[in-house]
Each structure stands twice: as C-alpha cells, then as structure tokens.
A and B are shown apart, each in its own frame.
Chain A
Amino acid sequence: MGEGRQVGKGTRVRALICTLIGIVIAAYVLFPFYLVLLNAFKNQASIVANPISFVGTSFAQLRTNLSSVVNNTNFSFWYAFGTSAVITIISLVLLAVLGAMAAWVISRNNRKKWSVVIYMIFIASMIIPFQVVMLPLISTFRDVGKFVGINMLQSVPGIVFAYCGFGGAMTVFILAGFIKGVPYDLEEAAAIDGCSPEGTFFRIILPLLKPVITTVTILNGMWIWNDYLLPSLMLGQNGKVKTLPVAVQAFVGSYVKQWDLILTAALLAILPMIIIFLIAQKQIMNGMIEGAVKG
C-alpha cells in the first residue's frame, strides 16, 4: 500500500514536471506569434522602445496600422489575398480530380509496361529540386506563351498550370497507393451492371477516395498557399498579379524597419492559415502525418 502510494506520487510529480517543461517550450514556440499580435497594437516608437511590454497598445493604433497596411498600394492586401485564394483553390480542385483520374488509370493498369514507366517517372521526379527547373521553366513558359498567344507568366491560369505539374507527382503517388487497396470486384460488378468505365470512376471510386483526397489537398494546400519562389519568378516582384507571400516580400522591401507596418502585414498574412488550423486542426495534422508516412 505504502509503496503503491509512493509510486503514484512519483509519477504525479514527474507528470507535473513534464507539464511544466511542456508549458515552457510552448511559451518559447508561441513567443514570436505573441510579439506579432502585441506589436500590431502599437506605433513604431513604442515598438522600438520596448517590444515586449504592453505600454502603448491601443485598439485605435491597431485600426491605424491595419488601415495603413490594407490601403497600401505596395501591399494591396485584399487583392493579394484573393489571388492567393483563387490560385490555391483552383489548383487544389484540379490536382484532386486530375490526380485521382491519372492515379486510377495507373494503378488499374499496373501490369502494363507503360503504366509502370509513368509511375516510376513520377516517383523519381519527386527528388528534383525546384531550383534545377525554375530558370528553364520561366523561359519555356515565356516562349510557349508568346508562340501560342496565351500569357503563361503574369497570369493566374499559368501558375495553376505550373502547380498541377509540380504537385502531380506526389498527388498521384499517394492516391495510387490508396487505389491499389480498393477491391477490383467493385468495378467489375459495376461493369457487369452496364456502367461505363468513366461512370465507374466518378460514381464509385471517387467517393471512396475522400479521406485520401483530404490528405493530398492538405499537403498541396499548405505548400501552394505558402509558396514564394514560384509565384515570385512567374509573376515578378512588382508585377500586376501577386500572391500573398510575394506581396509581403515586396511590402517589407519598401518599408525597411517600419515594424508597425511590417508586423501588422505579417499578422494579416498568417491569420488565414491560423484560422483554418483552428477549425480543422485534426485533419491538418493527420494529413501532414499521412503524407509523410506514405511519401
């Protein structure tokens, strides 16, 4: 009895210490977020005077900061936010549908040589770093665009096209892995009932893919929303069309050390992602894990 109680006490003390350590680390991890939030409520002078204290915070100042950032023509927050959202959503839908279609064809023909070759090329391409294709990509897009009369560089469709190309390999890889596990009998039964192959895919296979499509959508979404290099190269630093990361970069470049503006802009830039995370915390974390474990 006595010993049992002692062990219980020991574990409780250990749990308490662990919790304390956890809190300290959480404070460290969240500290920069706290600083961004806090200093968005201050003017430049009080930020520089003391960036940690509450002195100088006011809602009036937050409103001033917000309006000077949102109305800034170098930043054009709403426009950049809208462009980012449109690019991300269209790319995600296309990647999910086109990726599932391609993955289905590849995994249902996995005994045929052409299918194996395509699959292998997709897998091998995942190691290709963006740096090695970025320069020729820009010139190819520019030349092809000029030749056929479609603007591929400073345009939303051009970027969506590029994201479908870059995200395709990983999407197909994860989806094909899942489709292999879907019993073929289902499709045979549908075929006997007179369902066409495309009907079978859209009515039977696609609904079954819902969980794994969520996974690839989260993985692609995190990457596309935050991506800086591809849009900055394709759209240009100060081009007409810009995504949120490109806009932040351009904004900070023109307001060096104006921390009241920079931190408010940072707050606006991270807010959408944090809100989405708070809503779909579990799905996002599970999606990230599955993507890593399967990739």
Chain B
Amino acid sequence: MNSVANKLLSPILLIAGAAMVIISLIMDFAGSGSSLRGPMLVIGILVFFAGLYLFPTQKHHRKIVYVIFLFPLLFTFAVTVIIPLVLGICYSFTDWTGIRFNSVVGLTNYMTMFKDPAFIWSILITFIFVVLNMVLINLVGFLLALLCTSGIKGGGFFRASYFLPNLIGGIVLGYIWQFVFNNVIIDMTDNISWLARSKTALFAIVVVYIWQYAGYIMLIYITGLTQIPGDVLEAAKIDGANPAQTLFKVKIPMIASTITICTFLTLTSAFKQFDVNMALTNGAGSVANFMGNYLSNGTQMLALNIYNTAISKNNYALGQAKAVFFFIILAVVSLIQVRVSNKKEVEL
C-alpha cells in the first residue's frame, strides 16, 4: 500500500463524503426539491466509506474492514425489517391511516378485531387449514418419499415431476387451478365448481397446497431416509422384521429430526399462505350463520384478511393490529412446535 498517497487521499475522501452527506441532509431539511440531493447522499456515503477504507492505520485496519463488511446488510436489514416492525407495533395502538396518525387509541384496534365475526372466522379456518396441511402434506410427502426410495425404476423422473409444482409461484398456479376446478373437473362434481361453496373451496385450497408443497417435503424425507445407515436396515432384516415393523420401529424413529424440520416448514408456510388463497378464491364464499352473522369471507385466511383489511378496506390501523396478533400467534405456535418435537425426538 502506498501510505503517503493514502495519508493524503483518505482525509480528503472522508471530508468530501461527509460534506456531501451533510449538504444533502441540509437540503432535505430545508425542503429543497433538487433531484440531485438523493444521488448526492448515496455517493457521499460511498465516498466516506472509501476514505475510511484507505485510512492509514495498521492497528485498526481489520476493524475498519469488519465495519465496512457488516454495514450494507445490517443497514438494509434494519430499514426493511427492524424499523417497520417497531413502527408497526406502535402503529397498532393508534388510528394510523397508512400515512399519518392523529391519536393514540390504546387497545381499541385489538378490541374491534375480536368483535368482528369475519376475523374470528378467518382465525378458525386458518387453524383448520394449518392442521390439515401439516398432517396431510407430511403424510403425502413421506409416502412419496417411500415410493421414490423403494427402488422403482425412473426414481429421478418421479422425484423431479413431484417437485415441479413447487417451482411455480402461488399466483400463477392459483389461476391454473381455478381453471381446473371451474372448467375441467366440474363434470365430476355435479356441475358445481368446488370453488363455488365455502366448504368445498377450502378443501380445494388444501388440495392445491398439497399439490404444491408435498413434493418439496418429499425431497427432505428422501434425504432423511437415504441417510439411514444400510447396516441398521440389514440388521432389522436379519432379525426377521417385516416391512411394516422396519418402517415404524426403525425408519421413522431414525428420521425424527427430519420429521421435526418438515412439520416446522409445513406449519409456518401454511400459516402464512397468501398467494394461492388470493388467486384461487380471493377469500370469497358465503357462510350462512356464524356467531349469528352472515359472512361473505368464507375462504379468507388470516394473511389475506390482514391484506384486505388494510389495502382493500383502507383500514391500516386495524390491519396492522391484526398483523401484530398474527405475528404473536405464529411465534407462539412455532415455539410450541419446536419444544414438542424436541421432546418427541428425545423419546424416539
């Protein structure tokens, strides 16, 4: 390193960068409309870091590099996750309109949302959906994995084709399945599409979701199953265990950690399900009587309910309160799941 040049260049860059940042911030505060102030801020920050990097020091160079390496990701992370999370929790106690808030309203939003039968309904069907999915996807995924590892010919082809739906985004495949339900298998369902009635529509969402997700879970189970040492299976065979015994007494206990992973994945992803729900039914569906009310959101799950409350009905504060509640449930449920599975894993 040419330290004489650095001694000169580094302070110049540091001062120039800091000056650009300060000038652009002054322009911001002064309300200047100059379009230069944005780029100037970014360039200023970059120049400042360049100066910092060239700072002529042997002792602290490593520390400076650490700071420069950590800063970009931490900065984006703080701006996109941490700050909105903190703000979001605060906003849920106000009458926020998405742009500003006028007063703090305490728990009013939370009270309103629990008095709304449509929201209670969403919670209810989300839980049903999550439980159904967790059980069925794991079951289907595991059976598919057994099938693919049973030594059939063309295992690679089957594996790839079962996994294929997982590549497609929920919006597009939601529309594809809308076509399937409304135009193709409608003949088999007495000319009433599954999507036309709340109960069958919920079932349709479950079917589509299994179709999308089971292939992925299958892949993880296949990995688990192929990691079981061959001599263990050999020993079971010699001891005269039949296939069912081998499955329940040897294979399943040996892939306990895989089961934990898969339950966790299916649980959290089913909980957050949004795209398929939106594209397939958009939450529509009538419920004749729930808690003494008629509901028109028969298939609207929590994530979609939050979205519609805020975006379609323009009630940001209420939507945000629901989202905070959603976050709490998700955190609690996942923690319980991890606890329970860890215990089970030890027992097996």
Contact = CB atoms under 8 A, between A and B. Distances in A.
B272 A118 contact: no
A109 interface: yes
A147 B167 contact: no
A216 to B, nearest CB: 13
Given A35-B176, A165-B76, A289-B220, A48 B171 contact: no
B73 A102 contact: yes
A32 B207 CA distance: 13
A131 B170 contact: no
A192 interface: no
Given A32-B173, A98-B73, A150 B165 contact: no
A281 B66 CA distance: 37
Contacts of A277: 160, 164, 167
Give the most central of A32, A121, A130: most B CB within 10 Å: A32
A133 B164 contact: no
Nearest to B224: A293
A19 B153 contact: yes
B119 interface: no
Give the most central of B27, B79, B307: most A CB within 10 Å: B79
A102 B70 contact: yes
A168 B184 contact: no
B91 interface: yes
Contact of B84 (A19, A133, A226, A285): A133
A292 B179 CA distance: 32
B53 to A, nearest CB: 8
B183 A259 contact: yes
Given A15-B152, A132-B88, A293-B220, A149 B34 contact: yes
A19 B69 contact: no
Contact of A161 (B24, B80, B164, B319): B80
Interface string A142-184: 0010011110000000000110111011001000000000000
A47 B166 CA distance: 26
A166 B167 contact: no
B88 A15 contact: no
A1 interface: no
B118 interface: no
B323 A25 contact: no
A36 to B, nearest CB: 6
Contacts of B8: none
Interface string B261-296: 110010010011011001100000000000000000
Interface in B215-269: 215-216, 219-220, 223, 258, 261-262, 265, 268
Interface of B is mostly: helix
B136 to A, nearest CB: 14
Interface stretch (B196-204, B325-333, B339-347): B325-333
B107 interface: no
B70 A137 contact: no
B102 interface: no
A292 B217 CA distance: 9
B168 A26 contact: no
A149 B327 CA distance: 33
Given A21-B147, A127-B330, A131-B306, A270 B168 contact: yes
A148 B37 contact: yes
Contact of B223 (A31, A33, A259, A289): A289
Contact of A29 (B34, B41, B164, B179): B164
Interface stretch (A61-69, A75-83, A207-215, A245-253): A245-253
A101 B215 contact: no
A146 B207 CA distance: 45
A149 B171 contact: no
Interface in A14-39: 14-15, 18-19, 21-22, 25-26, 29-33, 35-36, 39
A266 interface: yes
Give the most central of B175, B219, B262: most A CB within 10 Å: B175
B85 A128 contact: yes
Nearest to B325: A132
A266 B172 contact: yes
Contacts of B183: 47-48, 51, 259
Given A148-B28, A270-B172, A135 B65 contact: no
B320 interface: yes
Given A102-B69, A148-B38, A129 B169 contact: no
B150 A15 contact: yes
A8 interface: no
Contact of B219 (A25, A33, A98, A288): A288
21 contacts: A22-B148, A25-B147, A29-B161, A36-B176, A98-B76, A101-B72, A129-B303, A129-B330, A150-B38, A150-B41, A164-B76, A165-B76, A227-B169, A228-B171, A228-B278, A229-B275, A233-B311, A249-B279, A266-B172, A289-B219, A289-B223
Nearest 6 Cβ contacts at the A-B interface: A165-B80, A226-B169, A149-B38, A150-B38, A136-B84, A101-B69
Given A135-B316, A245-B172, A248-B172, 18 more contacts: A25-B144, A39-B179, A51-B179, A98-B76, A106-B70, A129-B272, A132-B327, A139-B87, A148-B38, A162-B80, A164-B73, A164-B80, A168-B76, A226-B169, A248-B175, A274-B164, A285-B160, A292-B265
Interface of B: 24-25, 27-28, 33-39, 41-42, 61-62, 65-66, 69-70, 72-74, 76-85, 87-88, 91, 98-99, 144, 147-148, 150-154, 157-173, 175-177, 179-180, 183-184, 211, 215-216, 219-220, 223, 258, 261-262, 265, 268, 271-272, 274-275, 278-279, 303, 306-307, 310-311, 316, 319-320, 323-324, 326-327, 330-331, 334
